Amino acid sequence: MRRRRAHTANPLGWLVPDLIRLGAVLTRADDLAAMTVLDEHKQVITLGSLWRDKPAVLVFVRHFG
Amino acid sequence: MHCREHVVQLHHRIEELHATGAEIYVIGNGSPSFIDGFREETGWRGAIYVDPSLEVYKAAGLKRGVLKTFNLAAGIRSIGTLRRGIKQGRTQGDPWQQGGVLVIDRAGEIVWAHASGGPGDNATADQILTALRPAA
């Protein structure tokens, strides 16, 4: 199975380069599963529900512009 | 502009993506009120969610920073996007937040991930399809 690195969040702020993230690898979505997002009706969606029944592709966009 | 282009590209390959058995979710940041306009501009028919707090972006390990948004590579990619006729709309969301893609299987394993290094550094549909085939 092909795998690629996903880095953990940079705790030092938005101007600090991401070099400190190297070596940190997310392999499980457990930390994400209980987190929530909102739909257009402001309904709360639990992320873990998205991959409960089928594989999920989460496409994070930079912004909506 | 890159964000819209990325979603439009995936929209054009949605049947192939769904054929793997996976579902595709677009997640942005900012207000839920931004969703309708983005859907209209991209033609995306699937779910679109927002993470106004950026907590999910952070937990997913996605990058954020002024120098991630403004750099030479991003500028070159922007020129290419403009030449393809796609223009930047008004930024709706955090301008310094970068995007990315996570492919997660039913067991909660992240089988593939891409953390964008800047505007236009987007995972392609082919990359996602390759990741999905063993995950489905």
pLDDT digits 0-9 by tens, B92-110: 678 889 999 999 999 999 9
Q: Is the separation of the CB atoms in B70 and A57 below 8 Å?
A: no
Q: Which CATH architecture fits B2-135?
A: 3-Layer(aba) Sandwich (3.40)
Q: What pLDDT, on a 0 to 100 scale, did the predictor assign at position B63?
A: 87
Residue B39: closest CA among chain A residues belongs to which residue?
A64
* A contacts of B59 (beta carbons < 8 Å): 8-9, 31-32, 35
* A contacts of B58 (beta carbons < 8 Å): 9
CA distance B131 to B136: 9
* A contacts of B17 (beta carbons < 8 Å): 57
Q: Does A49 touch chain B (CB under 8 A)?
A: no
Q: What is the pTM of this model?
A: 0.77
ipTM exceeds 0.85: no
Report residue B10 as tokens: 């995936």
